[in-house]
């Protein structure tokens, strides 16, 4: 019995030794695995750091923003050489020879274009959109303590780094505010800022005489001031999600602007903004920031953003976009025109350019629809023309001529095509910017209408009477009705050209502390410039359109007489047919003066009205506001999973 117990204990001690040996091997393997994993993690982390540093160095060469590189933008070979030198400077001597460097030059693809993380697109050397490099570093993984357990010895580590050297610009598009007609501008602002139908508010705005203050025309608003006015931060303005949820009330924004610009603008400007805010009280229209502002990226708040008057008009347009038409009471004097009813509808609001890279920064004017309903009194002209033919034996009665004009103006757009950062020995160390513009396209319909012009009736689509005339013989013995009709409305369109603008080369550093921010000469508050703002397109497009419309309308006019072929008094008879051509001549002459004559509808109303809205048909004024050259930044990193060598 004792022998059996002794043998069992001996066997247990043998099994314990086996288990201890197995456990020891497992623990040693676990320790080795932990050490190998730690070494792999450290090696990958160090390789990623090297990739980031190499990409930061390479992008300065590829963009031409490196002082050490002499300011000459390099290609992939120059960027690769700089990245390789960076690795040699920063890598451990024990691994530097094992690191393989690959560099590609291109651009980062914006978030909005991919719907995912920013990606990278390789571009040719000549492309002006290159603003980033992608560096790929690879090296063998550290040797394994137990290769068969913790991985093959041939495993490669790979690290990517995409670094951008942003060159950001801000531009705006609109008409030349310095040439605006005071009365029209004030009436437009009254319609845009005031509650619908509030004539008292509109009268208050008109009384402010906005365009009479040169200080307003020359004042600019910085990003910091705009953020303060909106009670947000500059970083908020770079967030599309934030912008899509913000619709502040217009009067609150104007009040905020009054306080925000008080330290830089004159007291008159602050007073004007406060007065506009008071006049706009009761207007509950919100300003949808996402429709007005493009994200401005994460930049310095002191950057000039837009002219103050342009911002005020754009805020009003943004608040009114998609709403019913605004009735404008405009002070206009056109010969033979006894009444004009003008209606404005903002179809799509303007959109301001953010501080964005070339190829992304763009700005647009509002898309608007104008409806004009005119009444022309031609009785005096008809009487003067027909009395010699009637021999004083008849009287003339004439209804007003009703003329309807619809003008649909699509938005104009300006684009920042290329932006080169400052380089040594080039343009006195200043940036250069290339822009292009697509001008506004207008579709114009012309015809007549029925009813009261104050009700904004539609243009009659088919045949209609333009002028109704009654000729009555003295003492009411006989009468005849003569009408001038139009077979159908006429229409035309013009504008919409795309044009490349001259390079903008004149800048001033914003301050010594912010040396990488440059204000373009010619922007509001900056010195004048020969290349900024720039006008593009063809002038007098609208006048040409109306001249064409007048010619088309003239060919569609007809005359018709209802009643006897002649009117007789005693022994004197007046043939009605002899009156048709003179009547048509009077109508044609009057319409020509209104539609295409000097001082007619284009000169007196449409051009000033569209200018007040920041829109010019077939022509556009583009202003580069400012540019910024931030430091290079890592925008994307990808550390690939360990891969086996082939």
Find the helix or strand (DSSP H, E) in which 616 lies.
none
pLDDT, tens digit (0-9, with 9 covering 90-100), for 423-476: 767 788 788 899 999 999 999 999 999 999 999 999 999 899 998 888 887 766
For residue 396, the number of C-alpha atoms closer than 13 Å in the C-beta half-sphere is 27
13 in any annotated domain? no
Q: Is 148 left (phi over 0), alpha (psi -120 to 50) or beta?
A: alpha
Q: Indicate the burial class of 36 (C-beta count within 10 angstroms; 0-12, 13-18, 19 or more).
A: buried
When pLDDT is cut at 50, 70 and 90, the band that residue 279 belongs to is confident
**Total number of domains constituting the chain:** 2
CA atoms within 13 A on the CB side of 380: 7
Residue 275 reports pLDDT greater than 80: yes
3-state secondary structure of 292: helix
* Last-in-domain residue among 166, 197, 217: 166
Q: How many CB atoms lie within 10 A of CB 274?
A: 16
| 575 lies in the same domain as 511 | yes
pTM for this structure?
Answer: 0.80
Residue 322 lies in a domain: yes
- Residues in CB range of 7: below 8 A, 6 or more apart: none
Give the range of the structural domain holding residue 201, as residue numbers without chain letter.
Answer: 169-628
Judge whether 416 lies within some domain.
Answer: yes
- Same domain as 489, residue 542: yes
How many Cβ atoms are within 10 Å of 297's Cβ, its own excluded?
19
Same domain, 154 and 191: no
Three-state secondary-structure class, residue 342: strand
Closest CA to 139 of 638, 634, 645: 645
Half-sphere exposure of 627 (CA within 13 A, CB side): 28
Cα 409 from Cα 638, distance rounded (Å):
47
DSSP code string of 344-402: EEEEE--BB--SEETTT-EEE--EEEEEEEEEE--HHHHHHHHHHHHTTSEEEEEPPEE
- Separation between Cα atoms, residue 446 and residue 549, nearest integer Å: 7
145 and 179 fall within a common domain: no
438-452 pLDDT, tens digit per residue, is 999 999 999 999 999
On whether both 162 and 176 belong to a single domain, the answer is no
175 shares a domain with 98: no
At which residue do the structure tokens 């609109």 appear? 174
Whether residue 201 lies inside any domain: the answer is: yes
Asked if residue 245 and residue 112 are part of one domain, the reply reads: no
Q: Does 642 map to a domain?
A: no
Most confident option among 95-104, 166-175, 455-464, 532-541: 455-464
Q: How far apart are the C-alpha atoms of 305 and 311, rounded to whole Å? A: 9
Helices (H), 539-606: 541-556, 577-595, 601
Residue at 596 is within a domain:
yes
55, 135 contact by CB (below 8 A)? yes
Antiparallel, parallel or unpaired: β 557-562 and 479-486: antiparallel
Kindly state whether residues 269 and 368 are assigned to the same domain. Answer: yes
User: Do 200 and 189 meet the contact criterion of CB atoms below 8 Å apart?
Assistant: no
Give the model's pLDDT for residue 116. Answer: 53
Whether 514 and 554 share a structural domain: yes
Distance of alpha carbon 479 from its chain centroid, rounded? 61
Structural domain includes residue 285: yes
Separation of alpha carbons 271 and 375, rounded Å: 40
pLDDT at 148 over 80: no
State how far the Cα of 462 lies from the Cα of 489, in Å rounded to an integer: 7
With respect to residue 221, please indicate whether it lies within any of the assigned structural domains. Answer: yes
Question: What confidence category does residue 623 fall into, taking pLDDT thresholds of 50, 70 and 90?
Answer: very high
Using an 8 Å Cβ cutoff, are 253 and 287 in contact? Answer: yes
User: Is the CB of residue 189 less than 8 Å from the CB of residue 277?
Assistant: no
What tokens appear for 556 in the block? 């569609």
> Count of CB atoms within 10 A of residue 40's CB?
18
Percent of the chain past pLDDT 90, that is, above it, reads 30
Residues 64 and 142 in one domain: yes
Distance CA 416, CA 170 (A): 8
- The model's confidence at residue 340, banded by pLDDT at 50, 70 and 90, is very high
Strand partners, 576: none
Structural contact between residues 151 and 145, judged by C-beta atoms closer than 8 angstroms: no
Strand 220-222 vs strand 304-307: parallel, antiparallel, or unpaired?
antiparallel
Alpha helices in 306-432 (DSSP H): 308-320, 379-390
pLDDT tens profile 109-142: 766 555 555 678 888 877 767 778 899 999 888 7
418 and 511 in a single domain? The answer is: yes
Same-domain pairing of 269 and 286 = yes
Is it the case that residue 646 has pLDDT exceeding 60? no
């Amino acid at each position: 019995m004792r022998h059996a117990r002794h043998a069992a204990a001996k066997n247990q001690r043998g099994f314990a030794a086996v288990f201890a040996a197995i456990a020891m091997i497992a623990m040693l393997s676990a320790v080795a695995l932990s050490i190998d994993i730690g070494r792999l993690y450290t090696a990958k982390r160090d390789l990623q750091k090297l990739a980031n540093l190499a990409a930061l160095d390479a992008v300065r060469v590829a963009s031409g923003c490196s002082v050490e590189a002499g300011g000459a933008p390099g290609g992939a070979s120059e960027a690769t050489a700089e990245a390789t030198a960076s690795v040699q400077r920063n890598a451990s001597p024990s691994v530097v020879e094992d690191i393989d460097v690959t560099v590609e030059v291109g651009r980062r693809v914006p978030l909005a274009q991919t719907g995912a993380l920013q990606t990278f697109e390789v571009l040719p050397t000549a492309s002006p959109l290159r603003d980033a490099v992608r560096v790929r570093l690879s090296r063998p993984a550290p040797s394994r303590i137990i290769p068969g357990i913790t991985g093959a010895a041939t495993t490669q580590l790979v690290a990517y780094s995409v670094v951008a050297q942003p060159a950001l610009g801000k531009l705006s598009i609109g008409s030349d505010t310095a040439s605006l007609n005071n009365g029209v501008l004030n009436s437009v602002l009254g319609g845009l800022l005031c509650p619908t139908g509030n004539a008292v508010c509109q009268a208050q705005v008109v009384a402010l005489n906005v365009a009479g203050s040169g200080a307003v025309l020359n004042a600019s608003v910085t990003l910091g001031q705009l953020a303060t006015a909106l009670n947000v931060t500059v970083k908020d303005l770079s967030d599309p999600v934030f912008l899509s949820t913000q619709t502040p009330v217009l009067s609150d924004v104007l009040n905020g602007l009054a306080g925000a610009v008080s330290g830089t603008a004159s007291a008159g400007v602050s007073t004007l903004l406060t007065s506009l805010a008071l006049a706009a009280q009761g207007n509950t229209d919100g300003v949808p920031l996402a429709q007005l502002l493009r994200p401005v990226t994460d930049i310095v708040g002191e950057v000039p953003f837009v002219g103050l008057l342009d911002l005020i008009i754009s805020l009003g347009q943004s608040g009114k976009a998609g709403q019913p038409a605004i009735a404008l009471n405009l002070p206009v004097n056109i010969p033979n025109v006894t009444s004009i009813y003008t209606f404005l509808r903002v179809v799509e609001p303007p959109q301001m350019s953010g501080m964005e890279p070339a190829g992304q920064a763009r700005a647009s004017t509002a898309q608007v629809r104008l409806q004009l309903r005119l009444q022309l009194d031609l009785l005096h002209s008809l009487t003067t023309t027909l009395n010699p033919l009637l021999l004083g034996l008849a009287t003339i009665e004439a209804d007003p001529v009703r003329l309807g004009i619809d003008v649909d103006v699509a938005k104009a757009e300006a684009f920042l095509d290329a932006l080169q950062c400052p380089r040594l020995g080039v343009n006195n160390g200043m940036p250069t910017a290339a822009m292009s513009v697509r001008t506004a396209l207008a579709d114009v319909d012309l015809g007549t209408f029925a009813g009261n012009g104050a009700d904004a009736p539609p243009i009659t689509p088919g045949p209609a009477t333009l002028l109704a005339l009654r000729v009555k013989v003295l003492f009411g013995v006989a009468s005849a009705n003569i009408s001038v009709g139009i077979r159908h409305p006429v229409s035309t369109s013009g504008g919409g050209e795309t044009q490349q603008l001259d390079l903008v080369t004149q800048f001033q550093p914003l301050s010594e502390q912010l040396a990488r921010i440059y204000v373009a000469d010619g922007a509001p508050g900056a010195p004048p410039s020969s290349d900024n703002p720039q006008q593009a397109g063809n002038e007098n497009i609208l006048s040409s359109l109306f001249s064409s419309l007048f010619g088309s309308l003239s060919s569609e006019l007809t005359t018709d007489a209802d009643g006897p072929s002649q009117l007789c008094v005693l022994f004197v008879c007046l043939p009605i047919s002899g009156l048709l051509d003179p009547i048509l001549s009077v109508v044609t002459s009057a319409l020509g003066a209104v539609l295409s004559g000097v001082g007619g509808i284009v000169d007196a109303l449409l051009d000033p009205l569209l200018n007040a809205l920041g829109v010019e048909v077939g022509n556009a004024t583009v202003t580069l506001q400012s540019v910024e050259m931030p430091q290079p930044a890592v925008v994307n990193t990808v550390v690939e999973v360990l891969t086996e060598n082939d």
